[in-house]
Chains A and B, each alone.
Chain A
Amino acid sequence: MKTTAILATVLIGSAAALNAQAIPRGVSIAAQAPTRAAAAPVLIKNATVMTVTKGTMANTDVLLRDGKIAQIGKNLSAPAGATTIDATGKYLMPGIIDPHSHSMADGGINEGSRSVTSMVRVRDILNNTAPIIYRELAGGTTTINVLHGSANTIGGQNAIVKLKWGRPIDEMLFPGAMPGIKFALGENVTQKNNTPQPGTPRRYPESRMGQEEVIRDAFTRALDYKADWDDYNAKVAKGDKTAIAPRRDLELEPFVEILEGKRLVHAHSYRADEMLMLLELSDEFHFHVQTLQHGLEGYKIASDIAKRGTGLSTFADEWGYKIEAYDAIPYNVAILMRHGVVATVNSDDDGRARRLNIEAAKMVRFGGLTEDEALKTITYNGAIQLGIEKKVGSIETGKDADVVIWTGNPLSVYSRVETTFIDGEIFFDRQKDIAMRDALAKERTDLEKEDAAMNPAPAGRGGRGGATPGGSRK
C-alpha cells in the first residue's frame, strides 16, 4: 500500500514538474511521512553543556520539548508530564554528524559500471534494520550522510539520514535536507590499484586527464540540456501550444540542479592537484563544490579551497594505505580551519562511526584545535557542509533535540555515551540496553532450541558467522 502511495506521488510529482526547468524525480518522501505524536518533554538537569557554538556551561539544564531544544539555563523547572534526568557529573553535547558514511547501504554502494551514474540513488538501497544504526547511536552519532562510492567520476545521489532506529525509512530521511551527489577523483576511479580479471574491458577514464574530461563533458551536455528546456519553457510561457518538450534525461537532470544551486557536490579526492582541477572547473562552469571528501592533501591548497567557500571532510589521521594517501597528515583539519575552511572529521567506516569523538579528540593534539573547534569537526561543521546547520549541529534553543549525554568529557577516551536523543526521543540508553541483555539472550536460546528441534544437529557449525557487512571504502 505504501508503495502505491509513493508511486502515485512520484507520478503526480513528475507530471507537475514538467513545466519546471529542473525536474525533480519523485518528491520528498520524508515530507509524506506520517506525523508521529511528539515525545513527552525531557528535562536534563545539571549537566556540563557543550553547546559547541556558544561555549561550555557547567551545571546547566536543557529542556527538550516537541522534538526541539526548548530551553537552556540554570534551575529550569520541569513542565507537566516531563521526564527528568539527573545529569550531574555528566556532559551533554549535540548529536554527532558523520558527513561521510556508507552505513545502512544494502549491498553495493558503487554503480561503477559507467563513468557517469548521476541517476542512481543511495536512498533506494537504505536498510533501516541494519544493526549498525543502533551501534552508531551508542557512540553518539545521530545524523549520517550516506554517500555513493568512489568507483566512478560521477557517482550517485546521497541520502542524509537521522538514525531513528526502528522507524521506517520515510521517518529517517532528514526532512528538508538539500540533495547532493558524489563525484570522485584519483586512484579509485583510475582503478590503478586493482588487478582486473582477464578479459575485463577497461573503463574510461583511467587517468586524471580523463577524469577532468568526464566532468567537463557532463556539464557541457547538461548546459545543452538546460538550454533545450529553457527554450521550451519560454515557448510555453508565450502560449505556444505546439512546443514539444525535450526528452527527459535522468543522467543530466542532477547536473542542471547542481548548476542551479539545488544539489550539493561532495567530491571524493586525495591529491591537491586533482582537487584544484575540480575547483577550477567549478569556476569555469559556475557551480559550487560543497565539500571535498577525504581531501587528504587539502592542507597543501588550503587557501584555494577557502576562497571558494568549499568545505572539506577528512579522516582524522588515516594515511599511507595507498600512494595518494602517502602525504596525508593529521594536521590537515587544523591547517584548513586556520585558513577559514569549514572542515570536518568523518568515518567512512561503520566501525569508526561509533567513536568519532575520539577522532575529534585527535584534532586537539594535531594542530592544537580548541575543544570547541574539535567538537565542531563532528557536529556543527558537518551540519554546515550538509546544509542543515539551522536544524542541528549545536545546542541552541529552537534546534532539533538531537542530544547526547556522556559519562564525562566526550573528548576523553574514558567517556562513554549514556543516552542519545533524536528529535527529543531516546533512541539509545545504556542502562536500558544493559537491562535488556538477559531477555535477548533468553530469546536467542529459545529460538536456537526451536531451531534444533526443527533442524536437528547441523553438522560442523563453527564460530558465529553473520559478520555485519561494512568497512571502509575510502
Chain B
Amino acid sequence: MEYFLQQLINGLTLGAIYGLIAIGYTMVYGIIGMINFAHGEIYMIGAFISIIAFLVIGWAGITWVPLVLALVLLLSMVFTAAYGWTVERIAYRPLRSSPRLAPLISAIGMSIFLQNYVQILQGARVKPIQPVVQGGVKLMERADGFVVQISYLQIVIILLTIALMFGFNQIIQGTSLGRSQRACEQDKTMAGLLGVNVDRTISLTFVMGAALAAVAGFMVTLYYGVIDFYIGFLAGVKAFTAAVLGGIGSLPGAMLGGILIGLIEAFWSAYFTIEYKDVATFTILVLVLIFRPTGLLGRPEIEKV
C-alpha cells in the first residue's frame, strides 16, 4: 500500500511533465493537422535553456531559491517560445499549401537538425546540475522503514502544472485569442473572412506549445538533474503517445493522456521490470491506435454540419 502510494506520487509527477509536452502536439495538430515531430526537441531546448539560465543567474549572484526558479522558468519559456516560433516560420509556413506529407518530412528534418545543433553547441556529454530544491514531506512510514514521501520539488511540479492548466484553459475558452485559435481549428477560410490573422494565430499556437514544453524541460532538469541533447526524442514520442491516448486535438485529453502514461510507467517500473517500461508505453500506443483511434476524449471526424 505504501509502495503503491509512493509510485502514485512519482507517476503523477512524471505524468504532469508528459502532459505539458503533449499539449503542444495536440494544439498544433488541432490547428494545422500535422504532427510536429520537432516538438520533443523544443522540450529538450527548454531544458538546456533552463540549465544555462541557472548558470547565468548563479553568476549574477541571485540566491533566493523561489526567485531563481521563477527567473529561470521565465527565461526558459521566452527563449524556447522564440525557437517554437522560428521553427514554424522556417519549416512549416512555407509548406502550408503543400500536401500533408511535406510538412511532416520537414518536421522530422527539423528534429534531426535541432538535435545536432544542440550537440554541436553544447557537446554530446550529459549535463548535470546541482539539486536546487531539496527535501520533502514524509507522509507515512512502514514498519520495515519504507518511507512514503512527496518531495518539495514534486509539489512544485504538480502545483505548477495545475496552475498552468487552469490558466491555459482560461486562454483557450475565454479570450479572443483562444476563440480565434478554435475558429482556425474549425475553418481557417472563414476565420480569415472574419478578420482573424490566420498566420499569426498559428504562430501563437506554436509559441504557446513551446512555452509549455519549456516548463516541462525546466521541470525535468530539476527533477532528474541531468540532461543531454537526446532527451527530446523519447520524451517526445511518449508525449505524442499521451496525446493520441487522450485523443489528438483535445486539450484535456492531452493532459489526461500524459498523466496516464506517467502512471503506467511508474507502476510498470515498480511491479514489473523497469527495462520494459518503454515497451509498456508503446504497447498502449499500438492498442489505442487499433481499438480506439480517436483516443479517450477525442471526437470522431464525422460531424453534423
A and B held together in a complex: no
